[in-house]
Amino acid sequence: MAITMNNKTLVEAFGPTEGTALLVKQAVLVVLGIAALTLAAKIRVPMWPVPVTMQTFAILTIGAGFGMRLGLATVLGYLALGFVLALGGVSFTVFTGETATLAYFAGPTAGYLVGFAIAAGAMGWLAQRGWDRSVASMAGALLIGNGIIYAVGLPWMAYLFVESHGAAWVFQWGIGNFLIGDAIKLGLAALLLPAIWKMVGNARG
């Protein structure tokens, strides 16, 4: 399929496309997206060398499925909810782990949280240009999105720990331990959205 500037995103292929009904649909999608991100962060699949969560899978697929603006709004809403819960001292967190205080937003994962938002926006931008229509192009988009998360998250982690723990430790715990899980998740995501688009095409054909 040709990569163009005006491809619809997956959520634009369903439901209303203008007016109040569109705003309602978008609001519902944001709420559902935040719920999906929360659930994905809590899923822990036993794997070596560290357990794998589905958080990045959800971030990247929501970004691609929702498009740049709606995907970015959803991830920002997710981060804002996590911040409000931490600010209020609520024991439940939308992120991985059991709790998250305000210190969580300045700790080793802070850069990755920022990377989540940028990556979701980038995935939506690429999807609007048709990158989510084939397995090959979707895989390329996912590599870009995952690369953005690491490109933003790792420097902050290095700033916090490279002096005390060394560069090798930072790389191992910032990227290395997660590469196997990321490869599996990206493979699943690369298959998922093109398959849904194919079903949409068949249903309309």
Give the model confidence (pLDDT) of 81-108 as tens digits. 999 999 988 888 999 877 778 888 999 9
Using alpha carbons, list the distances in angstroms from residue 54 to 18, 51, 101, 133.
Answer: 32, 10, 22, 22
Q: What is the mean pLDDT of the chain?
A: 91
What is the pLDDT, as a whole number, of residue 156? 96
**% of the chain at pLDDT higher than 90:** 75
State yes or no: pLDDT of 48 exceeds 80.
Answer: no
Architecture of domain 10-204: Orthogonal Bundle (1.10)
Q: Distance between CA 104 and CA 177 in Å, rounded?
A: 20
- Would you state the pLDDT for residue 151? 97
pLDDT at 146: 96
Cis, bond preceding 49 (omega within 30 deg of 0): yes
- Categorize the per-residue pLDDT at 167 as very low, low, confident or very high, splitting at 50, 70 and 90: very high
pLDDT of residue 97: 77
Q: How many residues does the chain have?
A: 205
Residue with more model confidence, 135 or 44: 135
At 165, list the tokens.
Answer: 């723990």
- Residue 23 burial (CB < 10 Å; 0-12/13-18/19+)? exposed
Distance CA 56, CA 128 (A): 20
pLDDT surpassing 60 at residue 5: no
How many angstroms separate the CA atoms of 148 and 78, rounded? 18
According to the 3-state scheme, what is the secondary structure of 3-32? Answer: CCCCCCCHHHHCCCCCHHHHHHHHHHHHHH
Chain-centre distance for alpha carbon 115: 9
How would residue 51 be classed by pLDDT, with cut points 50, 70 and 90?
confident
Residue 4 pLDDT class (50, 70, 90 cuts)? very low
pLDDT at 2: 40
171: pLDDT confidence band, cut at 50, 70 and 90? Answer: very high
Instruction: With a cut of 70, say whether residue 75 has pLDDT above it.
Output: yes
